[in-house]
C-alpha cells in the first residue's frame, strides 16, 4: 500500500513537474518559413504562464505558434484541442505544436527560372514542400513570365486564372 501510494505521489509530482515545464514552439511563418512545418522541438521555449501550446492559422494565411497565455482574447474562441481543428489547436506537451498545420495543407514543387539556372520545364525532381501561405483549396501552378518558367502555389499568385500562360495543376505541380 505504501509503495502504491508512493508511486502515485511520485507519478503525480513528475506529471506536475513535466506539465509546468512544457515548452512550445514560438514562431510566425510570415517571418520564418520553417514555421509552416517545423518537424521537431528545435526552438521550443518554456511559456511564462501555463503549459498549453497553440498553433493557429490567421486570415492572411500565416501560421502562428506559441503559448496559450499569449493568445489574443479574440483568437481564443476558435481554439480547441480537437485533432482536426482547422484554425487553432491547443495541446499540452513539449513541442506538441510542431508539425504541419492545418494538417491537410498541400505540397507543391517550387522552381523559378528568374532566380536560378535550373530548367523548370524539365521533369521535376526532389520532394515538394508545403505552400507557405495557407489558402483553403490551394493548388499548385506552373506559369511563364517572359521566357522564365515558374512553379509555385496558387496562394503565391492568385492572378493565375486570369492568365493564359498560367496553368493550375492536378497534383504537386508536375
Ligand atoms: C524558425 O522557427 C523554427 C521553429 O520554431 C525555429 O527552430 C527556428 O530557430 C526559427 N528560425 C529563426 C531564424 O528564427
Ligand atoms: C475564427 O474562425 C472563423 C472561421 O474560420 C474566422 O472567420 C475568424 O476570423 C476567426 N477568428 C479569429 C480571431 O481568428
Ligand atoms: C529546358 O528543357 C527543354 C526540354 O528539354 C528545352 O526545350 C528548353 O530549351 C530548356 N530551356 C533552357 C532554358 O535550358
Residue 9 has pLDDT above 60, yes or no: no
Is the Cβ atom of 121 under 6 angstroms away from ligand 3?
A: yes
Is the pLDDT confidence value at 11 over 50? no
Q: What is the mean pLDDT of residues 2-10?
A: 49
Ligand 1 midpoint to CA 132 (Å):
15
Q: In the predicted model, is pLDDT for residue 164 greater than 60?
A: yes
Residue 137, pLDDT > 70, answer yes
Residue 123 pLDDT level (bands cut at 50, 70, 90): low
Looking at the predicted structure, is the pLDDT value of residue 125 above 90?
Answer: no
Q: Ligand 3 centroid to 119 CA: how many Å?
A: 6
Inform me whether the pLDDT recorded for 144 exceeds 90.
yes
Q: Which of 59, 63, 71 to mutate to test the pocket of ligand 2 (most atoms within 8 A of CB)?
A: 59
The predicted model gives 104-127 an average pLDDT of: 86
pTM of the full structure:
0.80
Q: Measured from the CB, is residue 137 less than 6 Å from ligand 2?
A: no
pLDDT score of 18 more than 50: no
* Ligand 3 centroid, distance to 149 Cα (angstroms): 10
pLDDT tens track for 41-90: 888 999 887 779 999 999 999 999 999 999 998 888 889 887 666 799 99
Q: Which of 11-25, 67-81, 100-114 has the lowest mean pLDDT?
A: 11-25
65 vs 47: CA distance, rounded Å: 12
Amino acid at each position: 500500500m505504501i509503495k502504491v501510494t508512493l508511486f502515485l505521489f511520485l507519478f503525480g509530482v513528475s506529471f506536475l513537474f513535466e506539465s509546468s515545464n512544457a515548452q512550445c514552439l514560438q514562431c510566425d511563418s510570415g517571418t520564418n518559413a520553417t514555421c509552416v512545418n517545423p518537424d521537431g522541438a528545435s526552438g521550443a521555449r518554456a511559456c511564462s504562464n501555463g503549459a498549453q501550446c497553440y498553433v493557429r492559422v490567421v486570415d492572411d494565411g500565416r501560421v502562428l505558434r506559441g503559448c496559450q497565455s499569449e493568445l489574443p482574447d479574440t483568437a481564443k474562441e476558435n481554439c480547441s484541442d480537437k485533432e482536426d481543428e482547422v484554425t487553432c489547436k491547443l495541446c499540452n506537451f513539449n513541442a506538441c505544436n510542431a508539425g504541419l498545420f492545418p494538417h491537410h495543407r498541400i505540397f507543391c514543387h517550387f522552381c523559378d527560372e528568374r532566380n536560378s539556372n535550373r530548367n523548370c520545364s524539365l521533369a521535376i525532381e526532389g520532394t515538394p514542400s508545403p505552400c507557405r501561405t495557407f489558402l483553403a483549396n490551394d493548388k499548385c501552378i506552373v506559369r511563364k513570365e517572359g521566357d522564365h518558367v515558374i512553379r509555385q502555389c496558387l496562394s503565391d499568385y492568385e492572378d493565375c486564372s486570369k492568365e493564359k500562360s498560367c496553368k493550375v495543376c492536378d497534383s504537386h505541380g508536375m
